[in-house]
Amino acid sequence: MNKIFGLISILFLPHLNTMSQDISPEMIQSILFKKNNENKASSLMIGSVNEQFHISFDVLSGIEYDLYYIIEHCDFNWEKSNILKSEYISGFDDVKIEDYSSSFNTYQIYTNYNISFPNSNTSFKKSGNYIIKILDEFGVELFRRKFILYESLSLVKTEIKRSRELEYINEKQVVNFEIAPVNIRFNNPDKNVKTVIFKNNDIEKSIKDLKPQYKIGQRLIYKYDKESSFWGGNEYLYFDNKNIRNTNVNIRGYNLKDIYENYLFSDYPRYNRKYTYNPDINGGFLINASNVEDPNTEADYANIYFSLENVNNIIGGDYNVYVVGEFNNFITSEANKLEYNNRNNKLEAFIKLKQGFYNYKYVIKHDLDIKTKFNNGEVGGNFDETENSYSILVYYRDFGERYDRVVGFGKASSENITN
């Protein structure tokens, strides 16, 4: 009997060891938010309190791990709020993710996880800034994402203007807006109303807490120039590899090793070129694959080859060049840093991405000071004609309240920019 038990233990021991493997950060891929009525994926979800949305991600492993989510309500500055969980959630969190599926017919094996909100365990009571954290079975945080829920209590009228600074008139865009309360009254708005403005879902590089320049009744008017200006940037570059075994939009070739490799045509710095209109989706991405029923589990992964030519004026500084977009939450890391190849005088990177349509751009970040934001226009250039999407969030905390409400949300495009 002991011999039989020993044989069974030997047979199952490798499997048990495999199941105990930790999830490394590079195993987490394709983190995205989606609203039920939208196709485009996003790195940031902004919706009304009762709006349906979901977050999904892949773990690049055949193991179906037990993963959990927790929800935190945050204040205006993304610090944890002073309200109890029972005050902002109906039900509970710290819930095991039950909706997951293994990949099918792909070279890269992965497990796709999906969480829909509201669900039978968790729904939201209050507006505000939220963070969702994904944990493994030992309570170790794997990653987190921000999302924002708002109440439609005020109208936000927005228009995009060219800069009045003559030095930057062809490079910057200015966001002017007006807040008109509808089902709310603002008490002491100079102190209690706060705003956030950001471009193309990149909330980390936002303009925060502008005070109204003047008021007309209850309407708050913001018509700054310098204080609410953004560098125009350039249209995003893009590729589409929904057909992974073929040349396609901006893809010059492919190869199959352990997984597929797709080679993009080389890009060039555009800071010294004239602006050229190039339709994009403002940094977004869409998971998609040809001839499949469910791209969530049937789309494969490919190593995408990015390259940047004519880089003599870029290399050699105390900075690095990165490929960013909503697909990686605009984060700069070793995973998306370009390396210089002196044999062909190119900056190059291989980045593993799931099949689909992607917007991307090249940015420079100084590494001597981690607080330094991306330099603007050093690779792509800045143009006032660039079509960008701007978002404005309105926060309000009345006297005696313990959390920051989001009471208004507005969007505007610079497509119809005016002087």
Residues 250 and 280 in one domain: yes
- Of 102, 133, 150, which marks where a domain is finished? 150
Domain limits at 212?
Answer: 154-232+386-416
Residue 392 sits in the same domain as residue 408: yes
Q: Does residue 313 sit within a domain?
A: yes
Same-domain check for residues 131 and 103:
yes
Count of domains for the chain: 3
Same domain, 77 and 130: yes
Residue 10 belongs to some domain of the structure? no
Percent residues over pLDDT 90 in the chain = 83
Assess whether pLDDT exceeds 80 at residue 371.
no
Question: Residue 379: inside a domain, yes or no?
Answer: no
Mean of the pLDDT values across residues 299-328? 90
Q: What is the CATH number of the domain that holds 130?
A: 2.60.40.10
85 lies in some domain: yes
Q: Is residue 139 part of a domain?
A: yes
Q: Is residue 7 part of a domain?
A: no
Lowest-confidence region among 20-29, 119-128, 301-310: 20-29
pLDDT at position 378? 86
Taking only the tens place, the pLDDT of each residue in 330-367 is 999 999 999 999 999 999 999 999 999 999 999 998 75
Residue 74: per-residue pLDDT? 98
pLDDT of residue 353: 98
Residue 317 pLDDT greater than 60, yes or no: yes
Read off the pLDDT band of 243 (50, 70, 90): very high
User: Residue 414 pLDDT > 50, yes or no?
Assistant: yes
Q: Per-residue pLDDT tens for 42-54?
A: 999 999 999 999 9
- pTM, full prediction: 0.91
| Same domain membership, residue 174 and residue 76 | no
C-beta separation of 285 from 325 below 8 A:
yes
Same domain, 85 and 60: yes
Let me know whether 270 and 361 are in one domain.
yes
User: Quick check: is 2 in a domain?
Assistant: no
Does residue 5 lie in a domain region? no
